[in-house]
Structure 1
Amino acid sequence: MRLVINVVILVLGATASISHNVVETLNGAIRGKLVRDLNVTYYAYLGIPYAEAPTGQLRFKPPVPKKPWNGTLDASAYGPVCPQDEMYHKRSDMNEDCLNLNVYVPARPALAPTPVLVYVHSGELTLLSGRPYVLGPQFYMKYGVLLVTMNYRLGALGFLSVQTEEAAGNAALKDILLSLQWVKKYISQFGGDPDNVTIGGESSSAVLVQYLTLSERSSNLFHKASIISGSALSYRFFNRHPIQSALELGKKMGYHTEDPNELVRKLQEADVFDIVTAQGDKTNKRNGFRPFAPFTPVAETPSPHAVITQHPLQIVNQGIPQVIPIISGITTQEGIKMLPFIRQNPILAVHLNENLELCIPSDIEYPYGSRESKDLANSIKQFYFNNETISNTTLLNFVNLVSDTQVTYSTDRWIEIYKNMANSDRVYYFVFDFDGDLNWYKLFSKTQFPGAAHADHLGYMFVTNTTRPLLLSAGAESKQTIQVVLQLWTNFIKYGNPSRLTSLTCNIREEWSDCGTQRNYLALNNRPYMVPGPPLRRRLHFWRQVYAQYESYVARGGGLEAKTP
């Protein structure tokens, strides 16, 4: 790692001291800064472009690697974020020239190259960025891990597909792939180990990580994966009808052509924020139970640039392309994330009670109103609600239904398939069940409900904007949970084994072992322990039967109705 110290600025009375330094790469020199924050010191190289601006005719296309620059790149401030709704970022921070990444390096002597964590931000494929809104690096700097985060294209800009070369789809996956290639090529010059890279994600980004593990194009770009509360097998993140979604977007924007290539040309000429606005209504028109974007990964037409050309289940049934150590798991109450939505939209409960067919996952394409669809809706009502209606007294039942359909079943199914097909003895399964002072989602959404919600673990894994003010005042058990989570995850990042070199001071008194064919799991909290698996056995069995019946129906030639995520 070549560092040239140019300037040192000490600000009296401030919380940070900053120094500028330069790293030489084949693309050009990069000047970062030295940061001291939360009792840890690290180098930060921010907003490094890894691709050319995906504008004009490059919109919807695979990213083009950034050309070398002259002089020294100032990487002391974050670069633009990708265009999106103004929920987390201001419009002034957005620009279509957003394909940049951030490198955080522990500022302490290293006897060997530093293990690398490449973390993909979540946000339902439409929001957030690689900035530290929820991905503050300080914890990993303390534990001696180099952290890389990146931006990738969002919404239609990242996932629109018309199944031709004009817009093949999965542009966002290709962005992440290019950033991984950048890490492979350049991270050693920052002191990182290109042969010890872990990729991580949660929720929608866990899905993207899992897609990359299924692509031969990512071979040797990472060596371990952390996949939390998300699965490529989820109905939410695979679009079987991408051309339909693209044409619907075009009509929203006043383009009434049925020619997909002509539509792409019009969209390439459109103002980028007009596209963001047109896709802004993320709620499925027919089903408020699924407020998700229609632009998700797709099966591409085979080509040299294709990342995924089949449904993920087809891929794994043919064999696992990459067998690597995996951490994967869920929270106890993933479905809490839907409570603010249903509380703010009470009419949703009315609609669901009138037609529980709306609760059926969209990858079960029974025609609405058919006998099969109605029978399944009745089975759901009986199993989850004991034939009662959705109301304040049955919110836990509703949370369980959301948890199982959107996260839990597909995550567990993936772990089972991976374990059986990969023949790996390093698959580590967990259920995060800690309900403490730093549960991110419940703090962010101001939701009070027992259990660990979707994304609640983030408060114990990263410094987030929401939890940062509470770090000092958090209770002892919450601080212990931070220690436990970071000790386990950084062990995994460094060694591929979360239980290696654990400390009794972190309350880790039991080895986190491979899940085995029984899918045994770690109850993840301030005092973790192993539990015979699988979790939620009865509920998972219900959905296993549901999908088996549907597959039998399809095999018999049953009629189907196209549904988007």
Structure 2
Amino acid sequence: MSESPLVTVEQGQLQGRIVNSPSGKAFYSFQGIPYAKPPLGSLRFKAPKPAETWEGIRDATAEGNIAPQIDTSLTKTYTGDENCLYLNVYTPHIAGNLPVMIWIHGGAFKWGSGNETLYGPDYLVEKDVVVVTLNYRCGPLGFLCLNTPEVPGNAGLKDVVQALRWLKQNIKSFGGDPDNFTVFGQSAGGAIVTILTASPLSKNMINKAIVQSGTGISKWAVQNEPLTCAKALASHLGCEADNVDEVLEFLNTVTAKELVEATEIVNSFDSLVVDQNNFFSVVVEKEFPGVEAVLTEPLLDFLTSGRTAEIPIMIGSTTLELLTNLRPSDLQMFIPSDLNIEKDSDESLAIAENLKGLYFTSDTEENKAEGLNRLHSDLLLNININRYIKYLVQNSNQPIYFYKFDYVGQFNFAHKSFFDTELKYALHMDDLGYLFKNDFQKDVDDPSPQDVKMRERMVRLWTNFAKFGNPTPEENHYLPTKWLPVTNDTLYYLNLGQELNLLQNPDEEIMKFWEDLYSKHFKIWEHTKINTIEPPRKLVYPDNEATEEQASIDDGQPSLEEKVVFEEIVPISSVLNPPVNGDAKSNADFKPKISNEIKMAQTSAPKDVVRASDPPEDDLPKNIGVNKFVNFYESLGGKK
């Protein structure tokens, strides 16, 4: 290997470096590569422009800036820089034609980066694949939408599309195959992957996809009233204008730091548990002549009509996923609003009783906590993962591989992030510690043989899929079980636990309950209010409490006749609930409902068919530390 690897891309030459993995294998590292023009000045909030050329040899031995965001550790400080559109390429061979794995980080569309503090590529690169990690704009800078040709929304998604375009043109210089891209992501990154496989801008650039703990059909992934969100942000910063051009002009005058910090305040009031609607996330864009759009229809429209990419997909989640603070007295709050069931109706009360029977098998505090954690996880992630798989299988001829990550060991990511003791379930992000090298692993001096074996299994499954479109092309010591894809008749899944077991229909009774509920109530919907064209509602914040003008708020919570009573939180031994980091508002008296209330069309339809209509750069750290943004739980009203 050359000690100073040099490659040539369209914009100029890059000087990388050689890195040794923990096992001593050397690979090439090229970091901080600009894939787009810095989105500064008049480019703020807008789609990215192609990267500019440079003279001479550009140093590619250090990571680029991360997107502006709040450091979600205890300090809650601002970090990042608007000049953040960089990617990193790691390759075992510069002269090759290797499969390419492109990682999309999570972080609730608000935080995160592709940097190696959390996503070191070492174990994956050892298996002869090229690994790419990247940064995209988050929060208002990446997802503000004014429904205008200038700011139609989804700038952060368009960053990822631009990165794919750059890689398509240049990955050959790093030994990668431009016709063998596997895009994989987790949480919000998983939601982005599902959207990219449907978008006309990107689906033809993706050959395989891996979706980890998140889909684009979840409510938290979509903002339905972007003008309300944008004007609430502007209002908090001092602009009361109704005209969107005036709003844009004003928002372009404030610093990125002010935008990000203000978003944390206005968005903190919107912490609905079931109907979480991030202020700045994906939007269904309006069509404008000559303006590229990621999606102009809801993702479900693409799924149900078979218009997503015909590619192999791996998809799954962890055993438990999320923990929650909530101890509600009325389980009706967990009925999704998209089912359009009137609260306190006979049906709503009956559904709440069913939830009690399905999730709470005893009155012990431990069972209450575990039941709420499972219900919370299902509503925010698992139900929509199952629905997504169902739609895919109905409309795709390509294999769909389903998994459950069920392993608890020394490399479990969330355990290392949040807890001083072991839990008995795998949580959100726990799988990442078995795919990527990260700073948490520095604390593990002597990993157990079982942990090392599990990491090897995970890395082999993921890289096999990238190479062959099949995670178990042959049986061996590490992968003794053949992983069968899902069929229309059987929901096969691989349980990734102490051993690998091919099973069927995880949580069958519970998922059947939700499937039947959606089949009955989620039919054809009017979608005129998805990204509404009506004038946005105005949120005002007297005395630091949110209200909605001309809104009547009923703080009462009617109770069930036979309800599960959840009193104050008590410690439990087997499912631990760590303290909240920051001021989570999941139990606030008032939560402004900016989410869309969709009317059911008065028409019959086949079951479960959907039709929707700053500071100087030198003063800012380039990296986020290990406890900085893994705060997905808090963003969804959950407990960190």
Provide TM-score, normalisation by structure 2.
0.77
2:321 corresponds in structure 1 to 334
Distance, in Å, in 2 between the alignment partners of 1:554 and 1:380 is 25
Aligned to 2:424: 450
User: Cα–Cα, structure 1 residues 549 and 514, in superposed 2: closer, same or farther, change >3 Å?
Assistant: closer
Quote the Cα distance in structure 2 between the aligned partners of 1:47 and 1:362. Answer: 43
Q: Work out the CA distance in 1 between the residues paired with 2:162 and 2:524.
A: 41
Q: Take 1:133 and 1:289, find their aligned partners in 2: how far apart are those partners?
A: 32
Q: Shift of residue 162 of structure 1?
A: 1.9
Of the three residues 346, 359, 373, the one matched with 1:384 is 359
SS at match of 1:201: strand
Q: Distance in 1 between matches of 2:363 and 2:139?
A: 37
Contact 2:32-2:86 at 8 Å conserved across structures: yes
1:54 aligns with 2:34: no
- State whether structure 2 residue 535 is matched by structure 1 residue 563: no
Cα deviation digits, residues 101-130 of structure 1 (max 9, x gap): 0011115x86x4111100111111111101
**Equivalent-residue separation in structure 2 for 1:28 and 1:92 (angstroms):** 33
- How many angstroms does 1:294 deviate by? 1.9
Q: 1:59, CA displacement in angstroms?
A: 1.2
Which of 80, 89, 103 pairs up with 2:89? 103
Q: Distance in 2 between matches of 1:473 and 1:141?
A: 22
CA–CA distance in structure 1, aligned partners of residues 353 and 230 of structure 2: 33
Instruction: Name whichever structure is richer in helix by fraction.
Output: 1
| Residue of 312, 335, 351 corresponding to 2:299 | 312
Partner of 1:71: 56
Secondary structure of the residue that 1:216 maps to in structure 2? coil
- Residue 396 of structure 2 corresponds to residue 422 of structure 1: yes
Shift of 1:468: 3.9
Structure 2: how far apart are the matches of 1:128 and 1:529? Answer: 33
The answer to whether the 8 Å contact 2:270/2:277 transfers is: no
Check whether the contact 1:145–1:490 (CA below 8 A) recurs between aligned residues: yes
Distance 1:294 1:364, change over 3 A: farther
User: Match for 1:397 among 348, 352, 371?
Assistant: 371
Contact kept in structure 2, 1:80 and 1:97, CA below 8 Å:
yes
- Identity among equivalent positions (%) equals 31
Question: CA separation in 2, counterparts of 1:99 and 1:36?
Answer: 26
Q: How does 1:448-527 map to 2 (within 5 A)?
A: 448-470=422-444, 472-504=445-477, 506=478, 508-517=479-488, 518-527=490-499
Give the residue type in structure 2 aligned to 1:529.
N
Counterparts of residues 181-200 of structure 1 (less than 5 Å): 181-200=165-184
3-state SS of paired residue (1:431): strand
Equivalent residue for 1:164, pick from 148, 163, 169: 148
The aligned amino acid for 2:494 is L
Shift of 1:43: 1.1
- Aligned-pair CA distance for 1:135: 0.8
Which has the higher relative contact order, 1 or 2, with Cα contacts under 8 A spaced 6 or more apart?
2
Query: 2:303 is paired with a residue of what secondary structure?
Result: helix
Distance 1:551 1:362, change over 3 A: closer
Q: CA deviation at 1:546?
A: 2.9
Relative distance call for 1:369 and 1:278 in structure 2 (3 A) is farther
**CA pair 314-416 structure 1, distance change in 2 beyond 3 A:** same
8 Å Cα contact 2:222/2:278 also seen in 1 = no
Partner of 2:336: 361
> Contact 1:283 / 1:290 at 8 angstroms: preserved in 2?
no
1:215 aligned onto 2:192: no
State the SS of the aligned residue for 1:123.
Answer: coil
Note the C-alpha offset of 1:529: 2.0
Residue equivalent to 1:294: 279
Q: CA deviation at 1:257?
A: 1.8
The 1-side partners of 2:4 and 2:72 are apart by 32
Q: Deviations over 1:176-226 (max 9, x none)?
A: 000001110000011111111110001110000100001121133120001
1: CA distance, partners of 2:371 / 2:502: 26
CA distance in 2, matches of 1:238, 1:291: 9
Cα distance in 2 for partners of 1:417, 1:411 equals: 10
Q: Which moved more, 1:445-454 or 1:426-435?
A: 445-454
Are the structure 2 counterparts of residues 277 and 131 from structure 1 closer, same or farther at C-alpha, using a change threshold of 3 Å? same
Which one-letter code corresponds to 1:450 in the other structure? Answer: K
Would you say the 8 A contact 2:360–2:367 is kept in 1?
no
Instruction: Determine the C-alpha separation between the residues in 1 that align with 2:345 and 2:225.
Output: 21
Compared with structure 1, are the counterparts of its residues 376 and 260 closer, same or farther at alpha carbon in structure 2 (3 Å cutoff)? farther
After TM superposition, give the deviation of residue 519 of structure 1 in Å. Answer: 1.5
Query: 2 CA distance for matches of 1:279 and 1:60?
Result: 15
- Paired residues for 1:74-85 under 5 Å: 74-85=59-70
C-alpha distance 531-383 of structure 1, shift in aligned 2 (>3 A): closer
Mapped contact 1:115–1:192 kept (Cα < 8 A): yes
Match of 1:265 in 2: 249
The gaps in structure 2 that reach 5 residues or longer are: 533-592, 597-635
1:524-558: per-residue Cα shift (whole Å, max 9, x none)?
134212112x2111111222233334336968x9x
Decide whether aligned partners of structure 1 residues 461 and 98 sit closer, same or farther in structure 2, where only a CA change above 3 A counts: same
Matched, 1:30 2:30: no
1: CA distance, partners of 2:485 / 2:403: 10
Asked if 1:410 corresponds to 2:384, the answer is yes
State whether residues 34 and 51 of structure 2, in contact with CA within 8 Å, keep that contact through their aligned partners in structure 1.
yes
- Mapped partners of 2:147, 2:347: distance in 1: 31
Please report how far the alpha carbon of residue 432 of structure 1 lies from its aligned counterpart in structure 2 after TM superposition.
1.1
TM-score normalized by the length of structure 1: 0.87
Any unmatched runs of 5+ in structure 1?
Answer: 6-18, 343-347
Residue 387 of structure 1, CA deviation: 9.4
User: How far apart, CA to CA, are the structure 2 residues paired with 1:90 and 1:284?
Assistant: 17
Q: How many residues align?
A: 526
Indicate the larger mover: 544-553 or 320-329: 544-553
RMSD: 2.7
Contact 1:365 1:562 in 2 (8 A): no
- Supply the distance in 1 between the matched residues of 2:313 and 2:524 (Cα, whole angstroms): 34
Is this contact kept in 1: 2:145–2:226, CA < 8 A? yes
Partner residue of 2:518 out of 530, 547, 560: 547
The whole-number CA distance in structure 2 between the counterparts of 1:248 and 1:543 is 34
Distance (whole Å) between structure 1 residues aligned to residue 349 and residue 499 of structure 2 = 44
